[in-house]
Structures are given as structure tokens and as C-alpha cells.
């Protein structure tokens, strides 16, 4: 599905990613954890080229998207992204937020997109919010709508960049619930998060990124039960 | 006291009624409105283009954009750093040397080129005030840079800059009066003509001032309406 080879990113003279090689297969749920500043968000943002890598390559569904000649806009249509701060469009209604991209990119007519929006809103449990503006909604509701907005493009891969970090504690659950349902439906997901419970329950594989490299990776049982890397042991002892 | 009021009244009567002098103000007003309207349009067109060039140049590596950005910077610096009356004199004598050029065109081009520099900076600041996450959200959905700009960034920026833009248009309407130094019969110039006819310049200029005031108050009111309409997504 998506494959990174020796992925590197440098900001000024600071190396954030120091060579990450990863194969993420269709249907996998990869959870990325690590201390802040370790490069985990940068890694995720490189996957859809919001951050341009300074070295290495990324191959998505057989296309080398790090090539300058790649049409990134087309690639990104197949990769949904959910942000820490939701980034909903504030002057558009919830329905417009969801239907904007599919209609503008001529994937659907307005009627088809509206029907899709209705279906998605039902799925995330907010069918009555179609005509609300994002500013009227709680953080948890906004993030659920941000997920619906990404799903409206029928992506093959969903990227989550700390989707619950900006939420009040009582709203974390409703967002994780949607993500769990999505995982159960077979969506391929890469999730950067601090929610260890989610990682343990949903992940097919957990990556520990530290100082720009994948310091340890394993299926969640082993990862949390018997961590080998001392820095991971230290990290887990602090967060668990 | 009463005598004085009577003489003031007579002066204003003379400046308005005899020889249908009010028609002079109306024709001047018409000219001022036409010039303002086209100058605003030219100013917005120039302003939007320059602002987009300047915003794009921050993230683009294209040489063309970099060069355009430098040109835009020179334009903004020169226009904002020199008096409008000097600009008008230069533009008028440089470009519009033919004796029968259309005065509306002359006025609108002079004022529009001037206004464009200010509008560009207002729009640029407005675009810069939109969080980077909005552009990222648009791009992450597969929208192109231009689509995201047009459908997401610019509408939000426009809402934020509306008060500043309104002020710019109001001062533009007032500043078109400077155009009277060249051969354009705007409201200011017509007031001057009336004054030179009646040998009493103060009343016609006070009348002109009143008309300018009515125009700017009207514009302020319109801007308020527009702001209220655009604020509908702010309800919480």
C-alpha cells in the first residue's frame, strides 16, 4: 500500500527524520508513538507530502510520489488526513465541509455528495448537524466531522495526526470510537497518538519513533508487554 | 446676528440655485462616483494579483514568481512612499498626453494604481492571518493550491479584512478629489468652478464637503451590512 525507503527530513540543520524504511500493507493499522519532537508527526506528514522529505522515497500504490513529476493532488485524493486541530472550514456548514472536495474535484455531483454526507453523518452519529457551522460544535463533534470529511473522498489510506490531543478528556472516547469502527471496517490507517489503550486494542503494529528513527516495532502485545529498547521502556513507564 | 445668518443663507443660495448651479455639483458627483467605482475595481484587481504573487512567493521556488515578487515589492514601496498628487501628475503627463482622453479613464487609472498598492498589502495580511492548517486541510483532500486559495483561504481572508478594505475604499472616494489637479471635472473641481463664478468660494466647498460626507457615510453603512452578513458562521 505505502512504502517508505530511507525517508529523511531536515529542517535547517536539524535532522528530524534520519532514515525510516517502512512497509505498510493494505488493511494494516499502524500506530506511531514516541516522545514529542521525535519526528512522528513529521513522518506522518511526509506520507502525503504535506512535508516534503529531503531524502529517501515514498511509493504509494506503485507510484513513486517523491518524484517531482507526480501529481500530488491526485495522490492525496486517495489519502485522507485528520489533524490535531481539526482544521474544518469555519465559514462553511458541516455539509459543505464534507461535500466541498468531492464536488470540486468532480468525483460526485452535488446530489451524490449530499447523500454521501448524510450517510457519513449518520455513521458518526451527527445526522442533525448538517447545517451547523463548525464554530457551534464541540471539539469532539468537530473531529468526528473532520473524519467524515476525509472519508467523503473514499480514501484508500487514512492518516491521523494526534486526533485526540486537542480534545477535552470527555470527548476523546467518541472520536476513538469512530476510529475503531473505521478500523473494524478494514480501512488502512496510520495513527500518531498518545492513546496507548487505542494502540493496544486496534493496532496491528506499533512503531516507536525516537530521534528520527523507528527504534522499535512490534505487534501490540509484545510491544507493550515486553519492550526491548531501553528508551521505549522508559517512555512506556512514564505514559502507562 | 440675524443679518449674518441672512448673508450666509444668501451665499449658499447663490452657490446652489442661480443658473442651475446644482447641476454642476451633480455632474461633478457623477464623475467622482464613476472614477471611484472604476478605481476600486482596478485597485481590487491589482491588489488581488499582487497579494497572490507575494503570498505564493513565500513557498514557491519558481524563478518567475520570485521576479514578480520583487516587481510587486518595488511597486508597493514606490506607491506607498510618494504622494498621490505627484503620482497623478507623473501618470497623467506620461501616459495621457492626448488632449481628448476620457477623463473617467484617467482618473480611474491614476486612483486605481494608487489604491492597488494599499489593497495588496491589506489582502496579503488577510491571507497571512488564516491558519496554515486551512491550506493543509484543503491540500490533504486533494484540492490544488489554486482551488484551496479560491474556495477556502480567500473567502475567510476577505471576511477578516473587510473593515480595513472598507476604510481603504472610503479614503479612496475622498482621495479622488486630488484628481481635480488634472483636467477632470470631478466634484471638487466643479465646486471650484462655482466658487470662481460667484466670487465666494467657501459655500461651494462646504457643499462639496457635505456631499463627500454623505457618500462616505453611505459606504460605511453598506460595509456594516456586508460585515453582518458575512458574520453568520460566527454564531455560537
pLDDT per residue as tens digits for the range A106-143: 999 999 999 999 999 999 999 999 999 999 999 999 99
- Here the cell at position B82 is 510618494
The pLDDT of residue B19 is: 83
DSSP readout, A71-100? Answer: -HHHHHTTEEEE-TT----TTS-HHHHHHH
How large is the average pLDDT for residues A41-62?
Answer: 94
Examine the pLDDT at B64 and tell me if it is beyond 80. Answer: yes
What are the chain B neighbours of A135 within 8 Å (beta carbons)? 233-236
- Here the cell at position A108 is 460526485
Are the Cβ atoms of A135 and B143 closer than 8 angstroms? no
3-state SS, residue A210: strand
What are the chain B neighbours of A85 within 8 Å (beta carbons)? 131, 133
3-state SS, residue A33: strand
CA distance B123 to B158: 7
For the ranges A37-41, B102-106, B231-235, the maximum mean pLDDT occurs at: A37-41
Note if the pTM is more than 0.90: no
The pLDDT of residue B126 is: 93
CA distance A167 to A135: 15
The pLDDT of residue B11 is: 87
Confidence of residue B213 (pLDDT cuts 50, 70, 90): very high
Confidence of residue B235 (pLDDT cuts 50, 70, 90): low
B36, B198 contact by CB (below 8 A): no
Going along chain B, which residue ranges are E strands?
none
**ipTM exceeds 0.85, yes or no:** yes
How large is the average pLDDT for residues B42-63?
Answer: 89
Backbone angles phi, psi at A3, to 5 degrees: -140, 125
The pLDDT of residue B16 is: 85
Chain B interface residues (partner A, CB cutoff 8 A): 131, 133-134, 136-144, 147, 151-152, 155-156, 159, 230, 232-236
Backbone angles phi, psi at A232, to 5 degrees: -65, -40
User: Residue A210, by phi and psi: left (phi above 0), alpha (psi -120 to 50) or beta?
Assistant: beta
Mutate to test the interface with B, among A81, A100, A104, A153 (most CBs of B within 10 A): A104
Which of B138, B142, B233 minimises the CB distance to A77?
B142
The pLDDT of residue A138 is: 95
Confidence of residue B6 (pLDDT cuts 50, 70, 90): very high
Examine the pLDDT at B103 and tell me if it is beyond 80. Answer: no
Examine the pLDDT at B101 and tell me if it is beyond 80. Answer: no
Q: Cβ atoms within 10 A of the Cβ of A191, count?
A: 27
The pLDDT of residue B102 is: 79
What are the chain A neighbours of B147 within 8 Å (beta carbons)? 104
In chain A, how long is the greatest CA-to-CA distance?
55
Segment among A81-85, A189-193, B21-25 with least mean pLDDT = B21-25
How close, in Å, is residue A80 to chain B by CA atoms?
6
How large is the average pLDDT for residues A83-92?
Answer: 96
What are the chain B neighbours of A88 within 8 Å (beta carbons)? 137
How large is the average pLDDT for residues A10-38?
Answer: 93
Amino acid at each position: 500500500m505505502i512504502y517508505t525507503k530511507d525517508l529523511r527530513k531536515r529542517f535547517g540543520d536539524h535532522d528530524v527524520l534520519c532514515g525510516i524504511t517502512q512497509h505498510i500493507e493494505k488493511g494494516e493499522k499502524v500506530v506511531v508513538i514516541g516522545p514529542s519532537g521525535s519526528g512522528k508527526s513529521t513522518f506522518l506528514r511526509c506520507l502525503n507530502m504535506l512535508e516534503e522529505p529531503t531524502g529517501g522515497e515514498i511509493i504509494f500504490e506503485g507510484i513513486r510520489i517523491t518524484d517531482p513529476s507526480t501529481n500530488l493532488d491526485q495522490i492525496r485524493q486517495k489519502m485522507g488526513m485528520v489533524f490535531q486541530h481539526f482544521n474544518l472550514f469555519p465559514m462553511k456548514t458541516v455539509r459543505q465541509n464534507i461535500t466541498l472536495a468531492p464536488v470540486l474535484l468532480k468525483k460526485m455531483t452535488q446530489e451524490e455528495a449530499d447523500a454521501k454526507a448524510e450517510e457519513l453523518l449518520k455513521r458518526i452519529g451527527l445526522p442533525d448537524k448538517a447545517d451547523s457551522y463548525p464554530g457551534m460544535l464541540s471539539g469532539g463533534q468537530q473531529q468526528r466531522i473532520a473524519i467524515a470529511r476525509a472519508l467523503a473522498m473514499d480514501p484508500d489510506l487514512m492518516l491521523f495526526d494526534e486526533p485526540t490531543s486537542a480534545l477535552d478528556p470527555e470527548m476523546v472516547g467518541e472520536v476513538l470510537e469512530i476510529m475503531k469502527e473505521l478500523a473494524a471496517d478494514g480501512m488502512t490507517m496510520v495513527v500518531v497518538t498518545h492513546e496507548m489503550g487505542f494502540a493496544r486494542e486496534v493496532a496491528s503494529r506499533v512503531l516507536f519513533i525516537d530521534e528520527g528513527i523507528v527504534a522499535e516495532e512490534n505487534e501490540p502485545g509484545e510491544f507493550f508487554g515486553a519492550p526491548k529498547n531501553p528508551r521505549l521502556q522508559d517512555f512506556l513507564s512514564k505514559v502507562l | 446676528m440675524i443679518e449674518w445668518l441672512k448673508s450666509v443663507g444668501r451665499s449658499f443660495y447663490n452657490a446652489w440655485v442661480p443658473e442651475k448651479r446644482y447641476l454642476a455639483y451633480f455632474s461633478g458627483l457623477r464623475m467622482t462616483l464613476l472614477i471611484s467605482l472604476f478605481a476600486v475595481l482596478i485597485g481590487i484587481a491589482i491588489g488581488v494579483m499582487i497579494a497572490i504573487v507575494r503570498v505564493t512567493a513565500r513557498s514557491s521556488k519558481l524563478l518567475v514568481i520570485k521576479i514578480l515578487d520583487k516587481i510587486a515589492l518595488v511597486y508597493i514601496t514606490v506607491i506607498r512612499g510618494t504622494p498621490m498628487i505627484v503620482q497623478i501628475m507623473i501618470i497623467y503627463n506620461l501616459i495621457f498626453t492626448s488632449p481628448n482622453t476620457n477623463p473617467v479613464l484617467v482618473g480611474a487609472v491614476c486612483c486605481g494604481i494608487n489604491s492597488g498598492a494599499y489593497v495588496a498589502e491589506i489582502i496579503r495580511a488577510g491571507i497571512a492571518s488564516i491558519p496554515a492548517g486551512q491550506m493543509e486541510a484543503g491540500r490533504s483532500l486533494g484540492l490544488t493550491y489554486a482551488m484551496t486559495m479560491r474556495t477556502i483561504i480567500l473567502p475567510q481572508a476577505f471576511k477578516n479584512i473587510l473593515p480595513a478594505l472598507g476604510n481603504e475604499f472610503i479614503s479612496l472616494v475622498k482621495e479622488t478629489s486630488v484628481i481635480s489637479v488634472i483636467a477632470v471635472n470631478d466634484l471638487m473641481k466643479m465646486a471650484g468652478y462655482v466658487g470662481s463664478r460667484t466670487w465666494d468660494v467657501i459655500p461651494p466647498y462646504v457643499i462639496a464637503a457635505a456631499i463627500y460626507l454623505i457618500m462616505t457615510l453611505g459606504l460605511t453603512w453598506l460595509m456594516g451590512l456586508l460585515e453582518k452578513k458575512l458574520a453568520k458562521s460566527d454564531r455560537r
